[in-house]
Structure 1
Amino acid sequence: MSTNVTETLQFNCTTCPSECLLTVEMERDANGAVTAVRSVTGNSCPRGDKFAHQELICPMRVLITTVAASGGDEALLPVRTAEAIPLELHAQAMDLIRGVVVEAPIRMGDVVLPNLLNTGIDLIASMDIDPA
């Protein structure tokens, strides 16, 4: 006897400006984990189907924050991951990033932390900081 529960969710796809309203039928196991995506409707392109599966199995987001800057004309440097990382790693990444201090000069796109949490994704500077 299966203990899986079928559930229907609605959420917007964010892969393009159309923001299609997706209706997704999926199954969850007794622990609440998604075991299968049964159907995706409402998407006007194939990206919506891919987005729905990704969002339910392993949501990904670009992490955007700041780090301390030393010796420059700014006290904080905006940074972001070069690509999306799993949402479940964001808290752990923030714990690591919280202790980072960069030394001026720094240029937009410079790598602040390479291979963040072994994801293969770098944390990069989002603006320039010149020496004071």
Structure 2
Amino acid sequence: MSTNAIEMLQFNCTTCPSECLLTVEVERSPDGAVVEVRSVTGNSCPRGNKFAHQELTCPMRVLTTTVVVSGGDEALLPVRTAEAIPLALHAQAMSLIRGLVVDAPIRMSDVVLPNLLDTGTDLIASMDIGPA
């Protein structure tokens, strides 16, 4: 006899402007981990199904923050990951990024840190910063 719990969740899909309200049936183990996504309804396109599975098994987010600039006309450079990375890695990524200092000048989309935490995703500049 299974001790897993069946749970119904509702959340919005954020993959497009429609923001469909998804109803998702999941099976959770006694420790709360998702064992299986049993069904997804409410999505008006296939992306909603994919989003629900991703969100419940390995949520991904784009990480945005700032890094210190040396020799620039601004003190801080806004940066972001070029693609979403696992949400579980955000704290570790922030610990690494916190120690970064970039030298000006820097252009938008320049790679500030390649292959962040072996995710295959670069940390890139979100604006231009000229020399002081």
Name the TM-score, length of structure 2 as normaliser: 0.99
How far apart are residue 3 of structure 1 and its match? 1.1
Where structure 1 has 5 or more consecutive residues not aligned to the other structure, the ranges are: none
Match of 1:20 in 2: 20
How far apart are residue 83 of structure 1 and its match? 0.1
Is it true that 1:77 corresponds to 2:77 in the alignment? yes
Give the whole-Å Cα distance in 1 for the aligned partners of 2:114 and 2:3. 43
Is it true that 1:64 corresponds to 2:77 in the alignment? no
Match of 2:49 in 1: 49
Q: Give a deviation string over 1:27-59, Cα, whole Å, max 9, x none.
A: 000110000011000000000000000000000
Amino acid at match of 2:64: I
Is it true that 1:8 corresponds to 2:8 in the alignment? yes
Give the whole-Å Cα distance in 2 for the aligned partners of 1:2 and 1:109. 50
Q: Give the match's secondary structure for 1:50.
A: helix
Match of 1:30 in 2: 30
Where structure 2 has 5 or more consecutive residues not aligned to the other structure, the ranges are: none
Q: Give the match's secondary structure for 1:53.
A: helix
Amino acid at match of 2:37: V
Aligned Cα root-mean-square deviation (Å): 0.4
Name the TM-score, length of structure 1 as normaliser: 0.99
Q: Give a deviation string over 1:75-129, Cα, whole Å, max 9, x none.
A: 0000000000000000000000000000000000100000000101000000000
Q: Give the match's secondary structure for 1:92.
A: helix
- How many matched pairs? 132
Q: Give the match's secondary structure for 1:120.
A: coil
Q: Give the match's secondary structure for 2:128.
A: coil
Amino acid at match of 1:40: V
Give the whole-Å Cα distance in 1 for the aligned partners of 2:2 and 2:113. 45
Q: Following superposition, which runs of at least 4 residues in structure 1 exceed 3 angstroms of deviation?
A: none
